[in-house]
Amino acid sequence: MHKLTICRHPLVQDKLACLRDKKTSPQEFRRRMSELSSLMAYQVLGTLKTQIAKVSTPLQAASCQVLAQPVVFVAVLRAGIGLLEGLLHVAPEAKVGYIGLYRNEETLNPVRYYIRLPKGLNKSYVVLVDPMLATGGSAAEAVQILKSYGAKQISFLCLIAARAGVRRMAQAHPDVPVFTAGVDATLNRKGYIVPGLGDAGDRLFGTF
């Protein structure tokens, strides 16, 4: 059971256009990415469990819903860092983990170099974040790592997904829903999404 959700909200699409634009500076790129992740948080966190709680208003008791599950955001380094600020803006109580992966330039296979995850993943609603889903190798590997640390409920948030990456995730992890702002048709010979937005990490941190 695999689910792909494309966030089609006009504000999301407008900000994505800004990220794609090669004239956008790293400063503007960071700001837009953060805004995008705040907007997309509403969808990706839409199935969080809640429980009934009694709250006393100044007038009387009200039956309310409060979060019943810890939230954990896990950023794939480097580019996933750009999505954290916006997510933490709307869910400041969330814990944060990091998975360091880079793609081998020849094979395009992910290489692990860092893992630091909060405890209690098995009871948490875990959102793995990386702006780019290209071949899908990095996301599939990161989900595998999360599962090996006990995570049971995982969603994947990206900004642009290539069709190949969506297919790979569906095959490797059919239980993990994918949320994206756009789906692009192709990858070039170097594994970049076309049209995409270029190298997300480089554009975010100005390393070009």
| Binding site residues, ligand PRP, CB under 6 A | 76-79, 101-103, 108, 110, 130, 132-139, 165, 191, 199-201
Residue 161 to residues 6, 104, 157, 166, 206: CA-CA distances in angstroms? 10, 19, 10, 7, 22
CB 186 within 8 A of CB 135: no
* Nearest distance from C-beta of residue 54 to ligand URA, angstroms: 48
Catalytic residue among 20, 31, 103, 163: 103
Q: Which does 196 bind (CB under 5 to 8 A by kind): ligand PRP, ligand URA, none?
A: ligand URA
* Nearest distance from C-beta of residue 15 to ligand PRP, angstroms: 18
Would you call 107 a catalytic residue per the annotation? yes
12/100 Cα distance (integer angstroms): 27
Residues that bind ligand URA (CB under 6 A): 79, 132, 134, 191-193, 196, 199-201
Residue with Cβ nearer ligand PRP (31 or 163): 163
170/4 Cα distance (integer angstroms): 9
Residue with Cβ nearer ligand URA (98 or 205): 205
Catalytic residue among 20, 31, 167, 199: 199
112/208 Cα distance (integer angstroms): 23
User: Residue 54's beta-bridge partner residues?
Assistant: 63
Residue with Cβ nearer ligand PRP (50 or 171): 171
110/139 Cα distance (integer angstroms): 9
Assign 3-state DSSP to the chain and report helix, strand, coil percentages, each to 5.
Answer: 35, 30, 35
Residues 6 or more apart whose Cβ sits within 8 Å of residue 164: 134, 135, 136, 187
Would you call 47 a catalytic residue per the annotation? no
Catalytic residue among 50, 107, 186, 207: 107
* Nearest distance from C-beta of residue 101 to ligand PRP, angstroms: 6
Active site (catalytic) residues:
103, 107, 199, 202
